[in-house]
């Protein structure tokens, strides 16, 4: 039967590894302080896992922790990643930075620091580099555990695909290519601890990473369904609540959007109506003002023309009449002359002869 293509790029492997690491040390958990994604300094330099022994003199029995001293730095690479040469020097640098970033001179001894590289694929290129370029020894301690001997810090390499399922079940199962025998042991072991959040975190990742395998094995699915029934019921209830909440939020957003559109349309219509009314009112006011101004202007001109006509009939000279216009209507000499020219143009057939007599 052809399996579905795996899609594990978006899986969060590091939290599951942290959970698996704590599970592996569960029998000696009281001996350690566990720190997930320990940040170095104020800049984003993070150690994947930092494990600090509570009692430096206590010997650790767990196979992956026998190398441990006081401060233990762990770098983890997921099954979709690879441990390279530069990764080695990066984490080595982290160890040096960790030693120096204490605020007190030599507070952390170099002899108290260990480095552990945990990866799924055996790093052939890195091991070759360490042997040939650095003249270091890579010595196998047991299945999946190798010590890198000759560097300043004690360093170990843990290859999870080569670990013994009897000794390191959870790290062995932290993969996207789970084997049938490992799955059987894993489900039995999980059944003893399914209320523990650490086990849940690790198991959730493993199930998602190997979903096609769990779907193909009906018995395994039934077993998991039985184990996860409480979680599934909680998830259903939570899903309903989330769905309702999201539905309300979506409804509110759509309602607001529709309300805005309707409001804009109504606003435009009301704006047009109000604009027409305001335009009519303003037009009337402006018309009245303009009418008054034009009426005043026309009335003034008629008054000026009437005065010019009266003075011409009385025989006053043009110069005398312009002087009277300036005084009576507050005109300048030029404005008075222009009114005289306008009057003459309008009444040219009746213009009297003007003599030089002045009063």
CATH code where residue 172 lies:
3.40.1350
**Of residues 259 and 113, more confidently modeled:** 113
Q: Which residue has the higher pLDDT, 309 or 282?
A: 309
DSSP SS3 for 252: helix
Task: Report the share of the chain in percent with pLDDT over 70.
Answer: 83
Across 34-38, 107-111, 115-119, least confident range = 34-38
To 5 degrees, how large is the angle CA 177–CA 84–CA 8? 30
- Total domains present in the chain: 2
Strands annotated E in the chain: 32-40, 45-53, 71-76, 113-119, 137-142, 145-149, 155-159
Q: Does residue 226 sit within a domain?
A: no
Residue 135 shares a structural domain with residue 20 = yes
Read off the pLDDT band of 117 (50, 70, 90).
very high
Question: The tokens of 71 are what?
Answer: 């401060």
What tokens does 145 get?
Answer: 């555990």
How confident is the model at residue 231, as a pLDDT? 54
* 114 pLDDT above the threshold of 50: yes
Query: Which of 128, 162, 177 marks a domain boundary?
Result: 177
Whose CA is closest to 38, among 14, 8, 7, 2? Answer: 14
What is the model's pLDDT at position 33?
86
Crossing angle of helices 180-193/218-227, nearest 10°?
Answer: 20
Give the whole-angstrom CA distance, residue 80 versus residue 17. 13
Average pLDDT over residues 323-341: 82
What DSSP state is assigned to residue 353? P
Same domain, 139 and 285: no
* Same domain (yes/no): 121, 246: no
Between 286 and 115, the more confident residue is: 115
Mean pLDDT estimate for the chain: 81
The reported pLDDT for the residue numbered 357 is 39
pTM, rounded to two decimals: 0.58
Q: What are phi and psi of 98, to 5 degrees?
A: -60, -40
Between these two residues, 7 and 270, which has the higher pLDDT value?
270
| Domain-embedded: residue 122 | yes
Same domain, yes or no: 55 and 129: yes
User: Phi and psi (nearest 5°) for 227?
Assistant: -70, -35
Give helix 229-313 / helix 333-346 axis angle, nearest 10°.
Answer: 70
The pLDDT of residue 159 is above 60: yes
**Cα three-residue angle 140-135-47, rounded to 5 degrees:** 65
Q: What pLDDT score was predicted for residue 225?
A: 62
For position 165, what pLDDT does the model report?
A: 92
Per mean pLDDT, which range of 42-56, 174-188, 225-239, 299-313 is the poorest?
Answer: 225-239
- Whether the predicted pLDDT of 235 surpasses 60: no
Residue 103 structural domain: 13-177
pLDDT confidence tier of residue 351, bands split at 50, 70 and 90? very low
Q: Is residue 88 pLDDT above 90, yes or no?
A: yes
pLDDT of residue 358: 40
pLDDT of residue 318: 82
Residues 39 and 160 in one domain: yes
256 lies in some domain: yes
Q: Are residues 346 and 303 in contact, defined by beta-carbon separation less than 8 angstroms?
A: no
CA 95-92-31 angle, 5° bins = 45
Q: Look at residue 222 and tell me if it is in a domain.
A: no
Tens-place pLDDT, residues 247-297: 777 777 777 777 777 777 777 777 777 777 767 777 777 777 777 777 777
DSSP code for 69: -
With a cut of 90, say whether residue 135 has pLDDT above it: yes
Residue 240 banded pLDDT, cuts 50, 70, 90:
low
Domain boundary among 127, 142, 177: 177
Reply yes or no on whether the pLDDT at 23 is more than 60.
Answer: yes
Above 50 in pLDDT, residue 196? yes
Instruction: Answer with the one of 127, 155, 177 that is the final residue of a domain.
Output: 177
Residue 346: predicted pLDDT: 78
Shared domain for 156 and 278, answered yes or no, is no
Tell me if residue 316 falls in helix, strand or coil.
coil
Q: For strand 45-53 and strand 145-149, is the pairing parallel, antiparallel, or unpaired?
A: unpaired
């Amino acid at each position: 039967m052809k399996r579905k293509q795996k899609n594990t790029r978006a899986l969060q492997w590091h939290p599951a590894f942290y959970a698996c690491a704590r599970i592996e040390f569960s029998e000696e958990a009281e001996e350690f302080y566990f720190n997930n994604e320990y940040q170095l300094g104020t800049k984003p330099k993070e150690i994947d896992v930092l494990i600090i022994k509570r009692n430096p003199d206590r010997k650790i029995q767990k196979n992956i922790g026998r190398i441990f001293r006081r401060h233990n730095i762990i770098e983890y690479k997921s099954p979709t990643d690879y441990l390279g040469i530069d990764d080695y020097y990066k984490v080595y640098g982290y160890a040096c930075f960790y030693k120096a970033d204490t605020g007190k001179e030599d507070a952390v001894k170099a002899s108290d620091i260990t480095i552990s590289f945990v990866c799924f694929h055996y790093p052939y290129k890195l091991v070759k580099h360490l042997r040939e370029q650095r003249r270091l020894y890579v010595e196998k301690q047991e299945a999946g555990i190798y010590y890198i001997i000759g560097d300043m810090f004690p360093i170990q390499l843990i290859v999870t695909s080569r670990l013994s399922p009897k000794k390191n079940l959870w790290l062995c199962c932290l993969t996207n290519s789970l084997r049938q025998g490992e799955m059987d042991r894993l489900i039995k072991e999980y059944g003893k601890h399914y209320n523990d959040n650490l086990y849940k975190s690790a198991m959730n990742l493993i199930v998602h990473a190997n979903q096609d395998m769990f779907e193909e094995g009906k018995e395994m699915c039934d077993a998991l369904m039985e184990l996860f029934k409480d979680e599934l019921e909680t998830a259903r209830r939570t899903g309903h609540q989330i769905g309702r909440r999201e539905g309300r939020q979506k409804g509110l957003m759509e309602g607001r959007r529709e309300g805005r559109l309707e409001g804009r349309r109504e606003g435009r219509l009301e704006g047009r109506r109000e604009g027409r009314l305001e335009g009519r009112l303003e037009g009337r006011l402006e018309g009245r003002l303009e009418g008054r101004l034009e009426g005043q202007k026309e009335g003034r001109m008629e008054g000026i023309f009437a005065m010019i006509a009266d003075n011409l009939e009385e025989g006053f000279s043009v110069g005398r009449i312009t002087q009277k216009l300036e005084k009576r209507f507050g005109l300048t000499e030029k404005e008075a002359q222009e009114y005289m020219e306008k009057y003459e143009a309008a009444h040219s057939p009746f213009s009297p002869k003007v003599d030089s007599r002045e009063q």
